[in-house]
Each structure stands twice: as structure tokens, then as C-alpha cells.
Amino acid sequence: MTPGGRAQAAVELLDAIIAAARDQGAAADTLIARYFAERRYAGSKDRRAVRELVYAAIRLLGERPENGRQAIVALARHDPMVAAMIDGSAHAPPPIDPVEPGAVEGIAPAWLVDRLERSGLAAEALPPLLERAPLDIRVNRSSADPAAIAAEIEGAVPLPHAPNGLRLPNGTSVEQLDAWRRGAIEVQDEGSQLVTTAAEIARGMRVVDLCAGAGGKTLALAAAMGNQGQILACDSDRARLSRLAPRAERAGATIVETRLLDPGREAEALQDWTEAADVVLVDAPCSGTGTWRRNPEARWRLTPDRLERLSTLQAHLLEVAWPLVKPGGALVYVVCSLLDEEGAGQIAAFLGVHEGWSAEPPRIPTGVARGLGWRLTPAHDGTDGFFVARLVRTC
């Protein structure tokens, strides 16, 4: 592809990504993969260059642009190398008129910046939300030793805080590594590894992972339990949950049972676990404001209405979760969001109507207190953004 052809491909992809963000369609990565699956003539260098243009534009623009052309115009005004690609040559986008409007640069839509600031994020903590994320892995302690794995994988270095974590050079094809194939490692951000630590899990426990998805945290829990005890991994999304079993098998996690839940009827399906769990983990669905490093277009998807619906769902899941905790057990609530309405606010509301619970600071070696929970941020901790609270049932 010519430089102009790459710029034109970026415009087409940005059009698709903007429409998908507006209509809750597929993620940017999926759209990029589909685009190139239909254009086999594009080589790996072309694909990488187009992808970089697309993500540079997404990161640059806080408000969702009207279209891909406005997005690339803004990027060109920011970066002369991009401007030089838009020269009107064959396959290139038409040249930019000096008075042509471009999309507006920014961290996020104004309403969302306002909510983040009201949630206690300082102005300097906002740009790191959009920096490139590192590639972190968790070593499966049930079957492997982090030092041995570090020696086996080129460029691997220990994570600053998570004891079983390593950081790999960006671009490492993890699924091609022998260590991955034999179930010794999983890709997992350091923040995710640390919030799992907050569960203070031990061998032989009975644990419910209420929103297990494809099992990222379930597998970390199973490893922390030395594969002894019982984990009930639930989710309402059949496709996600169905990916858990093969991952558990690869990791040798034999203590995991999965259960598909019907939204709104979760309590019925979980009656046999009433007051039976030592720990219930609620890794709740959220706006993902803490994971913009990986999904920067997520900030173009969120609306106040959607945030409100997520917040209602989070409160509902806390209501589903607490009856499963046995006296003396713990409810661990996690969101990968930095907004108080999804984090500290949820915990304050829960404790306002439930007696017999006390909030304990999670034992995480980094992060800062937020309300009755704990918060990790890219700026302070170099991890994805998370809120985690640990509530102990006192009676």
C-alpha cells in the first residue's frame, strides 16, 4: 500500500469504529481484523501502520468524531507525517483544505471528564488513562515458578507488585510460547492480578466467582488455592462462560464448576450456595474507564444512560452476592472503572442498607484508599484502573 492508501484505509476503519461506538457494535480490534481479512493484499507492515494510525486518532480525540475524515484531519493537524500522507494521490484521501473542520482533541467526552474529576482523579492522572498498556502475564503457581518462567521467556522481567507476574516486551506472541501452551502462564494485567490478591484466598476454600466471564480471575483464584477447594464460576453470557472450561483445562484447574445464570433470576439458581461461600467475588460489568489503555474507543461508547444502567446492574449483583457469603466470609467487589458511581458509591450504598458487614482495606501493596475501598490507577500504580472493596460478613 502507498502511504496515501494507508491513510485512506485508516479513514474507512475509523468510519466503521465510530458507527460501532454509536450503535454498540463490534470492538475496534474486531473491525480491524475483519477489514484486513477482506483485503489480503495488505502486508503485515501495512496492517501495522494502518492500525497505528487508527489508534493514534482514537487516543487523540475525546469526543466521538462525526466521521473518519474528521478524525484523520485532526490527526494530520497534530502530526505532520500524517498530513504528508493525505496528498490526494491515487488511493489517498483528498487533500485537506485549511478551513476544513477536524474533530476535537481531548481525553474523553466533557461529561465523562467531569465525572472522573468528581471521582477524585486529578488532571494529571487523566492522560495516563490513554497510554499504551504493557503486556503482563501471571505465572500459574500451581504448576510453574515465576523465576524459571522469567528465565525461559526472552525479555521477561518481574512485575513491580504482583508476586507471580512478569512483564513481557510489547508485541510478544504469548499464545505461541511453549509456557502458554502447557498452561504455565496467562495474559493478565498487574491490576487484575492484585485485585485477585484482595480476595485473600486459601487452599480448600469454597468460592463463588459471580461474574466470571471467560475466567481470567477464576484461574488466578484456582492457582492461589493450589487447586484445592471449590470454585463456582457463573456468568449470564453463554459465549464468554463457554471459553472458561478449555482455559481451566489448560491451566490444570480441576476445582472449577461453571453455571450459566439467567439475568434477573440469579438468586434462584444459586440457592444451593446460600451462606456457603468463604469468598464471593463480584467482578461486575462496568463502564471500563480504567481500561482505556486497551480499549480507547470505549470512551466514545459510554453515555450517561448506559452508565446509569450499569450502576443499577452492579447494585443488583451485590444483592445477588451477599446471601451466598457465610458468616465470617468476604464479599469482594471489583470494577475496572474509576467512577465513584460504580465503585466507592456502590459500597457506601450497600453498607447504608445492610447491617452486619464491615469494610476492610484490601491488602494490596500499591494503590490508594477511595471511600471504603481501594483504587489502582495507571498514573499512580502503572496498572489498569480498578476499584476494589472487601466486605466481611460479621454476623
Residues classed as catalytic: 336
136 is in an annotated binding site: no
How far apart, in whole angstroms, are the C-alpha atoms of residue 177 and residue 194?
24
Q: CB burial class (10 A; 0-12, 13-18, 19+) of residue 240?
A: middle
- Strands in 165-168's sheet, in edge-to-edge order, are 157-158, 165-168, 135-139, 185-187
86 binds ligand SAM (CB under 6 A): no
278 binds ligand SAM (CB under 6 A): no
**Bridge-based pairing state of the strands 206-209 and 277-283:** parallel
Nearer Cβ to ligand SAM (172/236): 236
How far apart, in whole angstroms, are the C-alpha atoms of residue 56 and residue 75?
7
What does the angle CA 53 – CA 55 – CA 58 come to, to the nearest 5 degrees? 110
- Measured from the CB of residue 61, what is the shortest distance to ligand SAM in angstroms? 25
Pick the binder of ligand SAM from 115, 217, 299, 301 (CB under 6 A).
217
- Measured from the CB of residue 117, what is the shortest distance to ligand SAM in angstroms? 24
Residue 109 phi/psi, 5-degree rounding, is: -55, 145
Q: CB burial class (10 A; 0-12, 13-18, 19+) of residue 83?
A: middle
Pick the binder of ligand SAM from 214, 280, 324, 325 (CB under 6 A).
214
262 is in an annotated binding site: yes
307 binds ligand SAM (CB under 6 A): no
Name which of 160, 153, 279, 261 is nearest 208 in CA terms.
279
296 binds ligand SAM (CB under 6 A): no
C-alpha cell at 317: 449483583
235 is in an annotated binding site: yes
Give the dihedral sign, CA 157/227/279/309: positive
Binding segment toward ligand SAM, per CB under 6 A, in 15-23, 153-161, 259-267, 291-299: 259-267
Pick the binder of ligand SAM from 88, 169, 263, 304 (CB under 6 A).
263
Pick the binder of ligand SAM from 236, 295, 303, 366 (CB under 6 A).
236
9 binds ligand SAM (CB under 6 A): no
Give the dihedral sign, CA 149/129/289/64: negative
Fill in the per-residue mask, 125 to 164: x = in contact with ligand SAM (CB under 6 A), - = not in contact. Answer: ----------------------------------------
230 binds ligand SAM (CB under 6 A): no
How far apart, in whole angstroms, are the C-alpha atoms of residue 181 and residue 75?
40
- Measured from the CB of residue 44, what is the shortest distance to ligand SAM in angstroms? 29
240 binds ligand SAM (CB under 6 A): yes
- Measured from the CB of residue 235, what is the shortest distance to ligand SAM in angstroms? 5
- Measured from the CB of residue 218, what is the shortest distance to ligand SAM in angstroms? 7
234 binds ligand SAM (CB under 6 A): yes
294 binds ligand SAM (CB under 6 A): no
Nearer Cβ to ligand SAM (16/342): 342
64 touches 74 (CB < 8 A): no
200 binds ligand SAM (CB under 6 A): no
Pick the binder of ligand SAM from 190, 235, 278, 381 (CB under 6 A).
235
Tell me the chain's radius of gyration from C-alpha atoms: 22
212 binds ligand SAM (CB under 6 A): yes
245 binds ligand SAM (CB under 6 A): no
Q: CB burial class (10 A; 0-12, 13-18, 19+) of residue 61?
A: buried
Pick the binder of ligand SAM from 190, 266, 297, 342 (CB under 6 A).
266
DSSP of 295-319: -TTHHHH--HHHHHHHHHHHHHHHH
Using CB under 6 A as the binding criterion, the count of chain residues that bind ligand SAM stands at: 17
How far is the CA of 83 from the CAs of 14, 73, 80, in angstroms? 16, 8, 5
Query: Which letter does DSSP use for residue 160 in this model?
Result: S
Nearer Cβ to ligand SAM (71/388): 388
Binding segment toward ligand SAM, per CB under 6 A, in 93-101, 144-152, 171-179, 228-236: 228-236
Name which of 257, 180, 189 is nearest 218 in CA terms.
257
Binding site, annotated residues for S-adenosyl-L-methionine:
235, 262, 283
Interacting residue ranges for ligand SAM, rule: CB under 6 A: 210-214, 216-217, 234-237, 240, 261, 263, 266, 283, 285
